[in-house]
Amino acid sequence: MWRDSIVEEVRAMRDSYAKKFNYDLDAIYHDLKELETKSGRAFILLPPKRFTLPHKKDSGRKQKMA
């Protein structure tokens, strides 16, 4: 199987970062939010996009008459 060195590097960095927090997602989230605050950059929150399922179309199959 073909291996991508960039993907492997990113995965290793991600694993190293997660390991610092014992893979605790809440701790990782709080750390990222703290880094976001310390960055001094302006962040915006967009409202969630709503998606609707398309209307079910007629399958095109003819129904047999009984």
The number of folded domains in the chain is 1
Checking if the pLDDT of 53 tops 90, the result is no
Question: How far is residue 9 from each of residues 5, 6, 14, 33, 39, measured CA to CA in Å?
Answer: 6, 5, 9, 24, 24
Tell me how far apart the alpha carbons of residues 58 and 11 are, in angstroms, rounded to a whole number. 45
- pLDDT tens digits along 3-49: 999 999 999 999 999 999 999 999 999 999 999 999 999 988 899 98
Q: Is residue 63 part of a domain?
A: no
* pTM for the full predicted model: 0.60
Q: What pLDDT does residue 25 have?
A: 97
Domain extent for 27: 5-39
Q: Is residue 19 part of a domain?
A: yes
Q: What pLDDT does residue 4 have?
A: 94
Q: Is residue 32 part of a domain?
A: yes
Q: Is residue 66 part of a domain?
A: no
Instruction: Name the DSSP letter for residue 21.
Output: T
